[in-house]
């Protein structure tokens, strides 16, 4: 019985690791289980330090494993659950060359007059949508549906397996999750950076300096923050929560002048 709380705590940490909001909601809904499990695992861990029998020895090992898992979560995963303009600016400075190279790679890979929206979650395809030369809307699928549609969607936009994998690997190398690109506007690409709860943060990358109209749009609309003549940060709110950068845009632009 001393070992029962430890796998419950492990499950809670893993749930929160995968999705902080969802994991926290599950943990809160099952508070009558999770709170006692956390308290008992701490108590049994310290009791097990005496190692009077094999069960207490096992409790110490499981406690250390959970502690290490939680520390790794705090150091590796938790920072990805936060994003602001400063974070995006630092990430852009680190990877702007790779972003430009990805833009060129996608432009050379997608067939004329076609477009692609591609999103990954780790090594899995989260969403894959395309439009063909005669289409004015994107079509495709999400998650499990993508596995059945992948080959046909790739054919529509002229992507080979090598090019598809090339896009994925380039995104992973710069710690980003997806792209949106259309040959109808080949001078720009949207590179999805990360989700925080329901909000998607993205970079809009241009292959040439933005026009006066594009600069005006970036300054006017609250979902955009211009970084320089080749890049804007985009805030895409979900069904609930904030829908724009809000006051953060003015605060950031007071410290950083894009041009």
End-to-end CA distance of the chain: 64
Give the number of other CB atoms < 10 A from CB of residue 229: 15
Please report, for residues 79, 130, 131, 227, the alpha-carbon distance to residue 205 in angstroms, rounded to integers and kept in the order given: 24, 20, 20, 10
DSSP 54-74: HHHHHHHHHHHHHHHHHHHII
The contacts of residue 204 (CB under 8 Å, 6+ apart) are 188, 189, 190, 224, 231, 232, 233, 234
Question: pLDDT tens digits for 231-245?
Answer: 999 999 977 778 999
Q: Using alpha carbons only, how large is the chain's radius of gyration in Å? A: 23
Question: pLDDT tens digits for 200-243?
Answer: 999 999 999 999 999 999 999 999 999 999 999 999 997 777 89
- Higher-confidence residue of 20 and 194: namely 194
Enter the pTM of the model. Answer: 0.79
């Amino acid at each position: 019985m001393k070992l029962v709380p430890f796998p419950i705590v492990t499950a809670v940490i893993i749930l929160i690791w995968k999705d902080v909001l969802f994991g926290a909601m599950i943990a809160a809904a099952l508070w009558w289980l999770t709170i006692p499990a956390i308290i008992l695992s701490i108590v049994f861990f310290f009791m097990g330090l005496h190692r009077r029998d094999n069960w207490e020895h096992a409790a110490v090992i499981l406690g250390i494993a959970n502690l290490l898992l939680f520390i790794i979560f705090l150091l590796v995963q938790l920072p990805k659950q936060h994003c602001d303009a400063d974070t995006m600016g630092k990430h852009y400075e680190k990877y702007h060359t790779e972003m430009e190279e990805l833009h060129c790679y996608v432009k050379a890979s997608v067939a004329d007059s076609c477009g692609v929206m591609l999103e990954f979650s780790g090594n899995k395809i989260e969403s894959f949508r395309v439009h063909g030369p005669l289409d004015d809307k994107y079509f495709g699928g999400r998650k499990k549906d993508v596995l059945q549609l992948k080959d046909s969607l790739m054919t529509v936009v002229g992507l080979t397996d090598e090019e598809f994998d090339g896009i994925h690997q380039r995104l992973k190398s710069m710690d980003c999750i997806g792209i949106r690109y259309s040959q109808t506007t080949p001078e720009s690409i949207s590179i999805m950076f990360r989700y925080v709860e329901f909000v998607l943060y993205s970079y809009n990358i241009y292959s040439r300096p933005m026009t006066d109209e594009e600069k005006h749009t970036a300054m006017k609309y609250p979902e955009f923050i211009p970084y320089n003549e080749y890049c804007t940060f985009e805030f895409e709110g979900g069904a609930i929560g904030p829908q724009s950068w809000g006051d953060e845009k003015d605060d950031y632009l007071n410290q950083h002048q894009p041009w």
